[in-house]
Amino acid sequence: MKLGMLTACLPQWDLDTIAKWAAGQGYQALEVAVWPGTGGRDFEASHLPVASFGEKEADETRALFDKHGLELSAFAYYENNLHPDLDRRGEIRTHLKHAIDAAQLLGVPYVGTFVGRDWTKPVADNLREAERILPELVEYAGERDVKIIVENCVMEGWHPDGYPGNLAYSPELWEWMFGLGLYLNWDPSHLTWIGIDPVETIAPYIDRIVHAQAKDVELRPRDRNRYGHFGPALDRTGNPWDMGWWRYRVPGLGQVDWSAVVDRLYEAGFTGTLSVEHEDPVWGGTPEKVTQGLEIAHRTLRPLIVA
């Protein structure tokens, strides 16, 4: 197992700067954000130009990672592959294929995305639509020796009422998407706030957990007693991502039992990358604060991982 980090939390920095900092801090791998450009969400970072990627860019990227002694564990392009706007859905599909093509050139084994959801339709209709369109993407990736990995993020902010916007949030849905040829970028934070014990989900699905993300979550049960699991109902216009009773934290500052998580990953035979995904509002806002948060995450996780 290697300890890595997702580069999306530092959209202001270029990849060379991130790699130099991460290697100096003791991280071993980078999960590289490859959105086409920074957008409306903090994690829409663009650290490699996959839409125009060729042999020259691949050689430069390999040299950069060799220089800093890092691995490139995966590409990250987490978007809604079931977007209700078909033009937008087509743009997402095209860019995902660009990411897959670039991964093939670099020998990157995984490209991360979301199943997503058309929030104007019921779940059953979404599942049938996914079964129609996702296998072609899986086949496209497989022909290039790349696996598509899906993070089990709920993406509640994509739904106008705060319901799941990514139909890959539970083991029930994992089993369904595995049947389409997809793999899992396992993240315990989302499981924790929706009431699933993350440790108990590792062993049954380890053959499909090929990459993992390290993000923590802080729960406020008193506020949950007011809103329920679905968050505020009367006013969701301010921030659709604020559920009112929990927030993401860097590993070590929330409810996730990281000793148990890492121990169970080892027991199950996981040999991939555990990649810190930094979305902690306390340790965010500026590159200085973000890197301080990443240092906290490293101090929490590094002692648990065999050298």
pLDDT single digits (tens) 136-183:
999 999 999 999 999 999 999 999 999 999 999 999 999 999 999 999
* Residue 276 main-chain phi, psi, to 5 deg: -70, 125
pLDDT single digits (tens) 93-137:
999 999 999 999 999 999 999 999 999 999 999 999 999 999 999
- Residue numbers of the domain that contains 215: 2-304
pTM over 0.85: yes
CB 278 within 8 Å of CB 5: yes
Domain count for the chain: 1
Determine the Cα–Cα distance for residues 278 and 253; give it in Å rounded to an integer.
12
Q: Per-residue pLDDT for the chain (307 aa), expressed as one digit of tens each?
A: 999 999 999 999 999 999 999 999 999 999 999 999 755 454 579 999 999 999 999 999 999 999 999 999 999 999 999 999 999 999 999 999 999 999 999 999 999 999 999 999 999 999 999 999 999 999 999 999 999 999 999 999 999 999 999 999 999 999 999 999 999 999 999 999 999 999 999 999 999 999 999 999 999 999 999 999 999 988 776 788 999 999 999 999 999 999 999 999 999 999 999 999 999 999 999 999 999 999 999 999 999 999 7
Tokens representing residue 121 in the block: 């339709």
- CATH number of the domain that 272 lies in? 3.20.20.150
CB 84 within 8 Å of CB 118: yes
Buried b (16+ CB within 10 A) or exposed e, 132-158: eebeebbebbeeeebbbbbbbbbbbbb
